[in-house]
Amino acid sequence: MPEAPYGKHGFATRMSHAGRAGVRIHGFVNPPVHRGSTVLFPDCESRKAGAAKRYDQFMTYGTQGGPTHYALEDVICEIEGGTRCTILGTGLAAVAVPLLAFLKAGDHCLMPDSVYGPARNLATTLMQGWGIETTFYDPCVDEPGMAALIRPNTKVVYTESPGSHTFEVQDISAISRAAHARGCKVLMDNTWGIHHFQPFRHGVDVSIQALTKYVGGHSDILLGSATVNSEEDHLAVRSAASTLGQYASPDDCWLALRGVRTMAVRLQAQGEAGLEVARWLEARPEVKQVLHPALPSHPQHALWKRDFTGTCSLFGVVLQPRYSQEDMFRVVDSLRLFGIGASWGGFESLAIPTTGFLSRSAGTGDFGGPTFRIHVGLEEVPDLLGDLEQGLATLSR
């Protein structure tokens, strides 16, 4: 992707201009939706020549994408700091395709114990059935610890920082050094850190995003992306996506392009509101701990401060150990402004229980009290605090 003339400008400016034809044109501001399956060629020779460019931004068949996909690819590269991007139909597809691109029968994969549940499920079901072994490691591992976990047949070190339920921040630079020293690819789920964490500066080979979240921003699309910084990795990921028949709807890509135009202001507003809510909760007597990397009380706060330029609006809450899971359910059930549902990054606030819903095998994720996860949307913070106050009041009944 060539450097755009706005490439040195601020994030909000880049999100306003990336993936567009420019401002000195005659036409609509937004690129149109291009839908199609069959691509026509003027003659047989040009079709034959086009096959060699099928993994570039060149139309050969609908499953290889079209102009709407290409525009979104360019925007995501701009966000992630990569050179090539593959748009996929869901966030989970963006997890699965790179894993299957770099792993085969007899290989070994390392995944953090805090990994997104469906990614764990992929590793323990299909990947295991295909002869790929996965070891789940403590996400707070250091460089020597990671080096000790890598086997001769380890091909992929998967990371997710922070963990999307328990928010452990990983030392991605240290993990990448250990992995690359042994010839492993480093994959990272960077959804929480979108914009605020630049993966390729820390040694990541493939950065995975659930575009369903902040890029979409309105809880009405499903999309994912896998961004790379080398042509070799792009060919591996893009060919795997093509072989698996992975495809993203151009209509969803168009909605993602629309969502990204306001992402900078949403991300900032929701990050600030989330931190305000987290601080309020941390001061409550019912709360044992708030799992928010931007709080000084977080165990990996120094690591977050070193590597991230900001925060998003997703974090965890640990109640005091005197409360039960049923008590925590009662708090969540009583909330009037927080929906109970999966995903996050939309305009609406959410709260879901995490105690009783996590799968762990490396002894992580126990914080000594029942936990739930909060996503702060675009509602007024005083309204959210009032709702949380009445919810916590149920613990005294």
**Per residue in 150-201, pLDDT tens?**
999 999 999 999 998 999 999 999 999 999 999 999 999 999 999 999 999 9
Structure tokens given for 78 = 């701009």
**pLDDT of 7:** 57
pLDDT at 374: 98
Q: Going along the chain, which residue ranges are E strands? A: 84-88, 108-112, 133-137, 154-160, 185-189, 206-210, 224-228, 287-291, 314-319, 350-353, 371-375
Residue 1 has a pLDDT of 40
Are 190 and 199 in contact by the 8 Å Cβ rule? The answer is: yes
**What confidence score (pLDDT) does residue 216 get?**
97
Give the up-direction half-sphere exposure of residue 375: CA atoms within 13 A in the CB hemisphere: 24
Please answer whether residues 282 and 385 qualify as being in contact, where contact means their C-beta atoms are separated by less than 8 angstroms.
no
| φ/ψ (deg, to 5) at 315 | -160, 170
**pLDDT for the residue numbered 356:** 87
Contact between 303 and 294 under an 8 Å Cβ cutoff? The reply is no
- Scanning the structure block, which residue is given the tokens 């979240």? 213
- Residue 23: predicted pLDDT: 83
pLDDT per residue over 69-113, tens digit each?
A: 999 999 999 999 999 999 999 999 999 999 999 999 999 999 999
User: Across-strand partners of 375?
Assistant: 314, 350
Low-confidence ranges of the chain (pLDDT < 70): 1-7
